[in-house]
Copies of this chain bind each other. A is one copy, B any other.
Amino acid sequence: MNHTDWKLLKEIAELEKTPQGAYNIRRNGQLDSRASTANIEITTKTEPDKPGIDIRIKSGTRNESVHIPVIITQTGMSEMVYNDFFIGEDCDVDIVAGCGIHNTGCETSQHDGEHTFYVGKNSKVRYVERHYGEGPGTGKRVMNPRTVVYLEEGASIHMETTQIRGVDSTKRETKVVAARGAEVVITEKLLTHGDQTAESDMEIILDGADANGRVISRSVAQDGSRQVFYPRMTGNAKCFGHVQCDSIIMGQAKISSIPAIVANSVDAQLIHEAAIGRIAGDQILKLMTLGLTEQEAEEKILDGFLQ
Protein backbone atom coordinates (compact mmCIF):
# COMPACT_ATOMS: atom_id res chain seq x y z
CA MET A 1 0.00 0.00 0.00
CA ASN A 2 1.23 3.46 -0.87
CA HIS A 3 0.82 6.93 0.56
CA THR A 4 -2.59 7.51 -1.14
CA ASP A 5 -3.93 4.21 0.23
CA TRP A 6 -2.94 5.14 3.78
CA LYS A 7 -4.41 8.61 3.40
CA LEU A 8 -7.76 7.06 2.38
CA LEU A 9 -7.58 4.58 5.29
CA LYS A 10 -6.98 7.41 7.70
CA GLU A 11 -9.96 9.38 6.33
CA ILE A 12 -12.42 6.52 6.46
CA ALA A 13 -11.24 4.40 9.40
CA GLU A 14 -8.73 6.53 11.29
CA LEU A 15 -6.12 3.89 10.56
CA GLU A 16 -2.46 4.85 10.42
CA LYS A 17 -1.20 1.30 10.57
CA THR A 18 -2.56 -2.25 10.38
CA PRO A 19 -5.49 -2.36 12.80
CA GLN A 20 -5.68 -4.31 16.04
CA GLY A 21 -7.99 -7.30 16.15
CA ALA A 22 -9.82 -8.75 13.18
CA TYR A 23 -9.68 -6.90 9.89
CA ASN A 24 -10.14 -7.23 6.17
CA ILE A 25 -8.75 -4.58 3.86
CA ARG A 26 -10.10 -4.58 0.31
CA ARG A 27 -8.15 -2.62 -2.29
CA ASN A 28 -9.16 -2.13 -5.92
CA GLY A 29 -11.52 -5.10 -5.88
CA GLN A 30 -9.00 -7.51 -4.30
CA LEU A 31 -8.19 -8.70 -0.81
CA ASP A 32 -5.20 -6.72 0.41
CA SER A 33 -4.81 -8.20 3.87
CA ARG A 34 -6.85 -9.98 6.52
CA ALA A 35 -6.65 -11.20 10.10
CA SER A 36 -9.08 -13.31 12.11
CA THR A 37 -8.93 -13.69 15.89
CA ALA A 38 -9.91 -16.46 18.30
CA ASN A 39 -13.45 -15.05 18.48
CA ILE A 40 -13.89 -13.37 15.12
CA GLU A 41 -13.50 -15.34 11.92
CA ILE A 42 -13.45 -13.71 8.50
CA THR A 43 -13.82 -15.91 5.44
CA THR A 44 -14.20 -15.24 1.73
CA LYS A 45 -17.66 -16.07 0.38
CA THR A 46 -17.67 -19.12 -1.83
CA GLU A 47 -20.64 -18.25 -4.05
CA PRO A 48 -19.09 -17.18 -7.39
CA ASP A 49 -21.81 -14.59 -8.08
CA LYS A 50 -21.55 -13.05 -4.61
CA PRO A 51 -18.14 -11.54 -3.93
CA GLY A 52 -17.59 -10.56 -0.34
CA ILE A 53 -16.87 -11.92 3.11
CA ASP A 54 -18.61 -13.59 6.02
CA ILE A 55 -17.76 -12.34 9.50
CA ARG A 56 -18.63 -14.74 12.32
CA ILE A 57 -18.44 -13.47 15.87
CA LYS A 58 -18.68 -16.03 18.68
CA SER A 59 -21.23 -15.62 21.46
CA GLY A 60 -19.80 -13.82 24.45
CA THR A 61 -17.20 -11.85 22.47
CA ARG A 62 -16.62 -8.54 24.22
CA ASN A 63 -14.51 -5.45 23.66
CA GLU A 64 -13.25 -6.62 20.29
CA SER A 65 -13.37 -4.85 16.97
CA VAL A 66 -13.50 -5.60 13.27
CA HIS A 67 -12.20 -3.23 10.60
CA ILE A 68 -13.30 -3.83 7.02
CA PRO A 69 -12.33 -0.77 4.98
CA VAL A 70 -12.54 -0.65 1.19
CA ILE A 71 -10.31 1.61 -0.89
CA ILE A 72 -10.31 2.25 -4.60
CA THR A 73 -7.60 4.20 -6.40
CA GLN A 74 -8.18 2.78 -9.87
CA THR A 75 -10.31 4.82 -12.24
CA GLY A 76 -13.13 2.95 -13.98
CA MET A 77 -13.26 0.33 -11.22
CA SER A 78 -16.82 -0.74 -10.31
CA GLU A 79 -17.76 -3.42 -7.82
CA MET A 80 -20.65 -4.88 -5.86
CA VAL A 81 -19.72 -6.59 -2.59
CA TYR A 82 -21.77 -8.58 -0.08
CA ASN A 83 -20.65 -8.77 3.54
CA ASP A 84 -22.61 -10.77 6.09
CA PHE A 85 -22.13 -10.47 9.84
CA PHE A 86 -23.24 -13.34 12.06
CA ILE A 87 -23.02 -12.09 15.62
CA GLY A 88 -23.68 -14.50 18.49
CA GLU A 89 -25.39 -13.76 21.80
CA ASP A 90 -24.12 -11.46 24.56
CA CYS A 91 -21.45 -9.83 22.42
CA ASP A 92 -20.20 -6.26 22.67
CA VAL A 93 -18.26 -5.36 19.53
CA ASP A 94 -17.21 -2.44 17.34
CA ILE A 95 -17.37 -2.77 13.58
CA VAL A 96 -15.67 -0.14 11.46
CA ALA A 97 -16.46 -0.11 7.76
CA GLY A 98 -16.03 2.59 5.17
CA CYS A 99 -15.03 3.30 1.62
CA GLY A 100 -12.53 5.75 0.19
CA ILE A 101 -12.13 6.46 -3.50
CA HIS A 102 -9.22 8.37 -5.01
CA ASN A 103 -10.02 8.90 -8.65
CA THR A 104 -7.34 10.42 -10.87
CA GLY A 105 -8.89 9.36 -14.17
CA CYS A 106 -11.85 10.21 -16.30
CA GLU A 107 -13.95 7.10 -15.67
CA THR A 108 -16.41 6.47 -12.86
CA SER A 109 -15.16 4.55 -9.85
CA GLN A 110 -17.98 2.92 -7.96
CA HIS A 111 -18.38 0.82 -4.83
CA ASP A 112 -21.74 -0.76 -4.01
CA GLY A 113 -21.89 -2.76 -0.82
CA GLU A 114 -24.57 -4.74 0.93
CA HIS A 115 -23.97 -5.38 4.61
CA THR A 116 -26.33 -7.69 6.46
CA PHE A 117 -26.15 -8.04 10.23
CA TYR A 118 -27.71 -10.87 12.19
CA VAL A 119 -27.34 -9.68 15.79
CA GLY A 120 -27.93 -12.35 18.46
CA LYS A 121 -29.79 -11.95 21.73
CA ASN A 122 -28.58 -9.19 24.05
CA SER A 123 -25.61 -8.35 21.83
CA LYS A 124 -24.42 -4.78 21.38
CA VAL A 125 -22.95 -3.62 18.11
CA ARG A 126 -21.43 -0.26 17.36
CA TYR A 127 -21.17 0.18 13.60
CA VAL A 128 -19.22 3.06 12.12
CA GLU A 129 -19.19 3.71 8.38
CA ARG A 130 -17.45 6.57 6.62
CA HIS A 131 -17.50 7.48 2.97
CA TYR A 132 -14.98 9.76 1.35
CA GLY A 133 -13.93 10.67 -2.17
CA GLU A 134 -11.04 12.65 -3.60
CA GLY A 135 -8.73 12.88 -6.57
CA PRO A 136 -8.08 15.32 -9.40
CA GLY A 137 -9.73 13.17 -12.12
CA THR A 138 -12.96 14.05 -13.86
CA GLY A 139 -14.32 10.52 -13.27
CA LYS A 140 -17.20 10.28 -10.82
CA ARG A 141 -16.94 8.74 -7.36
CA VAL A 142 -20.06 6.75 -6.59
CA MET A 143 -21.03 4.76 -3.47
CA ASN A 144 -24.31 2.93 -2.89
CA PRO A 145 -24.41 1.19 0.47
CA ARG A 146 -27.25 -1.07 1.53
CA THR A 147 -27.37 -2.04 5.20
CA VAL A 148 -29.81 -4.58 6.61
CA VAL A 149 -29.92 -5.34 10.33
CA TYR A 150 -31.92 -8.00 12.18
CA LEU A 151 -31.86 -7.46 15.93
CA GLU A 152 -32.88 -10.38 18.12
CA GLU A 153 -34.42 -9.93 21.58
CA GLY A 154 -32.58 -7.35 23.66
CA ALA A 155 -29.96 -6.72 20.97
CA SER A 156 -28.84 -3.23 19.99
CA ILE A 157 -27.05 -1.46 17.17
CA HIS A 158 -25.65 2.06 17.23
CA MET A 159 -24.91 3.07 13.64
CA GLU A 160 -22.89 6.14 12.80
CA THR A 161 -22.68 6.85 9.11
CA THR A 162 -20.81 9.79 7.68
CA GLN A 163 -20.32 10.99 4.14
CA ILE A 164 -17.56 13.50 4.50
CA ARG A 165 -16.78 14.97 1.11
CA GLY A 166 -16.14 14.09 -2.47
CA VAL A 167 -18.85 11.52 -3.18
CA ASP A 168 -20.55 12.52 -6.42
CA SER A 169 -23.55 10.28 -6.13
CA THR A 170 -24.88 8.08 -3.38
CA LYS A 171 -28.01 6.10 -2.75
CA ARG A 172 -28.09 4.83 0.81
CA GLU A 173 -30.54 2.14 1.84
CA THR A 174 -30.91 1.08 5.45
CA LYS A 175 -33.36 -1.39 6.94
CA VAL A 176 -33.49 -2.45 10.58
CA VAL A 177 -35.93 -4.91 12.13
CA ALA A 178 -35.99 -4.82 15.94
CA ALA A 179 -37.42 -7.66 18.02
CA ARG A 180 -38.66 -7.44 21.61
CA GLY A 181 -36.60 -5.08 23.73
CA ALA A 182 -34.15 -4.35 20.93
CA GLU A 183 -32.70 -0.89 20.35
CA VAL A 184 -31.56 0.91 17.21
CA VAL A 185 -29.88 4.30 17.16
CA ILE A 186 -28.82 5.72 13.81
CA THR A 187 -26.81 8.90 13.43
CA GLU A 188 -26.44 9.95 9.83
CA LYS A 189 -24.23 12.83 8.71
CA LEU A 190 -24.11 13.91 5.15
CA LEU A 191 -22.45 16.76 3.31
CA THR A 192 -22.87 17.34 -0.40
CA HIS A 193 -21.30 20.02 -2.57
CA GLY A 194 -20.82 20.88 -6.24
CA ASP A 195 -23.47 19.08 -8.26
CA GLN A 196 -23.52 15.97 -6.06
CA THR A 197 -26.68 14.02 -5.36
CA ALA A 198 -27.53 12.00 -2.28
CA GLU A 199 -30.55 9.92 -1.41
CA SER A 200 -31.08 8.16 1.89
CA ASP A 201 -33.85 5.63 2.23
CA MET A 202 -34.28 4.28 5.74
CA GLU A 203 -36.78 1.83 7.17
CA ILE A 204 -36.90 1.06 10.88
CA ILE A 205 -39.40 -1.59 11.93
CA LEU A 206 -40.07 -1.76 15.66
CA ASP A 207 -41.54 -5.22 15.61
CA GLY A 208 -41.31 -6.47 19.19
CA ALA A 209 -42.68 -5.11 22.45
CA ASP A 210 -40.49 -2.46 24.06
CA ALA A 211 -38.39 -2.00 20.95
CA ASN A 212 -36.81 1.40 20.73
CA GLY A 213 -35.73 3.43 17.70
CA ARG A 214 -33.99 6.73 17.23
CA VAL A 215 -32.77 8.35 14.03
CA ILE A 216 -30.78 11.57 14.02
CA SER A 217 -30.03 12.82 10.53
CA ARG A 218 -27.96 15.94 9.98
CA SER A 219 -27.10 17.19 6.56
CA VAL A 220 -25.57 20.11 4.77
CA ALA A 221 -26.25 20.73 1.08
CA GLN A 222 -23.89 23.23 -0.55
CA ASP A 223 -23.59 24.72 -4.04
CA GLY A 224 -25.94 23.06 -6.53
CA SER A 225 -26.21 19.72 -4.75
CA ARG A 226 -29.43 17.77 -4.13
CA GLN A 227 -30.48 15.66 -1.15
CA VAL A 228 -33.55 13.51 -0.59
CA PHE A 229 -34.35 11.74 2.69
CA TYR A 230 -36.96 9.03 3.23
CA PRO A 231 -36.73 7.94 6.87
CA ARG A 232 -39.58 5.58 7.76
CA MET A 233 -40.34 4.33 11.28
CA THR A 234 -43.01 1.66 11.75
CA GLY A 235 -44.32 0.54 15.14
CA ASN A 236 -45.97 -2.88 15.22
CA ALA A 237 -46.06 -3.25 19.01
CA LYS A 238 -45.63 -1.26 22.22
CA CYS A 239 -42.60 0.74 21.22
CA PHE A 240 -41.05 4.18 21.08
CA GLY A 241 -39.62 5.74 17.95
CA HIS A 242 -38.15 9.17 17.27
CA VAL A 243 -36.90 10.56 13.97
CA GLN A 244 -35.16 13.90 13.78
CA CYS A 245 -33.87 15.39 10.52
CA ASP A 246 -32.08 18.72 10.41
CA SER A 247 -30.68 20.16 7.22
CA ILE A 248 -28.73 23.26 6.36
CA ILE A 249 -29.29 24.51 2.84
CA MET A 250 -26.76 26.72 1.06
CA GLY A 251 -26.12 28.16 -2.41
CA GLN A 252 -28.51 26.77 -5.02
CA ALA A 253 -28.95 23.44 -3.25
CA LYS A 254 -32.26 21.60 -2.94
CA ILE A 255 -33.34 19.34 -0.08
CA SER A 256 -36.40 17.15 0.36
CA SER A 257 -37.24 15.47 3.63
CA ILE A 258 -40.03 12.90 3.32
CA PRO A 259 -40.32 10.95 6.53
CA ALA A 260 -43.02 8.51 7.49
CA ILE A 261 -44.23 7.36 10.86
CA VAL A 262 -46.58 4.40 10.78
CA ALA A 263 -48.41 3.20 13.91
CA ASN A 264 -49.86 -0.29 13.55
CA SER A 265 -50.39 -0.69 17.29
CA VAL A 266 -52.26 1.44 19.79
CA ASP A 267 -49.16 1.23 22.01
CA ALA A 268 -46.77 2.53 19.39
CA GLN A 269 -45.54 6.01 20.23
CA LEU A 270 -43.85 7.69 17.29
CA ILE A 271 -42.48 11.18 16.84
CA HIS A 272 -40.96 12.91 13.88
CA GLU A 273 -39.31 16.30 13.53
CA ALA A 274 -37.70 17.84 10.48
CA ALA A 275 -36.32 21.24 9.71
CA ILE A 276 -34.63 22.75 6.67
CA GLY A 277 -33.15 26.21 6.73
CA ARG A 278 -30.08 28.34 6.10
CA ILE A 279 -27.48 29.27 8.70
CA ALA A 280 -28.92 32.02 10.86
CA GLY A 281 -27.35 35.38 9.98
CA ASP A 282 -26.90 36.39 13.61
CA GLN A 283 -24.87 33.24 14.32
CA ILE A 284 -22.39 34.26 11.62
CA LEU A 285 -22.33 37.87 12.84
CA LYS A 286 -21.59 36.76 16.39
CA LEU A 287 -18.58 34.71 15.26
CA MET A 288 -17.39 37.56 13.02
CA THR A 289 -17.33 39.94 15.98
CA LEU A 290 -14.91 37.42 17.55
CA GLY A 291 -12.51 38.01 14.66
CA LEU A 292 -13.44 35.28 12.17
CA THR A 293 -14.03 36.00 8.51
CA GLU A 294 -17.49 35.24 7.17
CA GLN A 295 -16.20 32.04 5.54
CA GLU A 296 -14.44 30.90 8.71
CA ALA A 297 -17.58 31.57 10.73
CA GLU A 298 -19.64 29.51 8.28
CA GLU A 299 -17.17 26.61 8.46
CA LYS A 300 -17.16 26.74 12.25
CA ILE A 301 -20.95 26.49 12.32
CA LEU A 302 -21.04 23.60 9.83
CA ASP A 303 -18.32 21.76 11.79
CA GLY A 304 -20.34 22.11 14.96
CA PHE A 305 -23.49 20.96 13.20
CA LEU A 306 -21.90 17.86 11.68
CA GLN A 307 -19.17 17.23 14.29
Contacts and interface: CB of A to CB of B under 8 A. Distances in A.
A251 to B, nearest CB: 6
Interface in A241-282: 247, 249-264, 266-278
B276 A270 contact: yes
A237 to B, nearest CB: 13
B256 A258 contact: no
B263 A270 contact: no
A41 to B, nearest CB: 42
A273 B37 CA distance: 47
- Copies per assembly: 2
Contacts of A264: 254
B258 A269 contact: no
A270 B261 contact: no
A206 to B, nearest CB: 12
Contacts of A256: 260-263
Interface residues of A, number: 31
A186 to B, nearest CB: 18
Q: Is the interface of A mostly helix, strand, loop or mixed?
A: strand
Contacts of A249: 263, 266, 268
A259 B258 contact: yes
Interface string A264-307: 10111111111111100000000000000000000000000000
6 contacts: A254-B263, A256-B261, A258-B261, A267-B278, A268-B277, A270-B276
A212 B66 CA distance: 50
A261 B253 CA distance: 14
A141 to B, nearest CB: 25
A276 B269 contact: yes
B276 A274 contact: no
Nearest to A248: B266
Contacts of A252: 266
Contacts of A259: 258-259, 272, 274
A110 B278 CA distance: 46
A234 B270 CA distance: 24
Nearest to A278: B266
Contacts of A268: 249, 276-277
A206 B190 CA distance: 26
A273 B267 CA distance: 20
A268 B249 CA distance: 9
A22 to B, nearest CB: 41
